[in-house]
């Protein structure tokens, strides 16, 4: 992909992330952008690590479905 296509893809993905439910959006941002571990996200959001994992899975699934559409 050239630089312009990469930028367009990045913008498209960012807009899709913004459409996610609030908890999923926060976990995606903490995990991928801030590179936090499950335990850190768990502490920040006051939820269990299992919930972090579950929400991250759901968020990824939602993003994959949106990308395929």
Is the pLDDT confidence value at 32 over 80? yes
Closest CA to 51 of 22, 21, 20, 24: 24
pLDDT tens string 36-67: 999 999 999 999 999 999 999 999 999 999 88
Q: What is the mean pLDDT of residues 7-35?
A: 93
Per-residue CA distances from 40 to 15, 20, 30, 36 (Å): 25, 21, 9, 6
Q: Please check whether residue 21 is in contact with residue 56, taking contact to mean a CB–CB distance below 8 angstroms.
A: no
Per-residue CA distances from 58 to 3, 5, 7 (Å): 30, 27, 25
Round the average pLDDT of the chain to a whole number and report it: 93
């Amino acid at each position: 992909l050239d630089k312009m296509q990469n930028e367009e893809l990045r913008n498209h993905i960012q807009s899709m992330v913004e459409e996610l439910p609030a908890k999923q959006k926060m976990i995606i941002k903490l995990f991928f952008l801030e590179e936090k571990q499950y335990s850190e996200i768990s502490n920040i959001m006051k939820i269990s690590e299992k919930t972090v994992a579950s929400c991250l899975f759901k968020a990824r699934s939602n993003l994959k479905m949106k990308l395929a559409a």
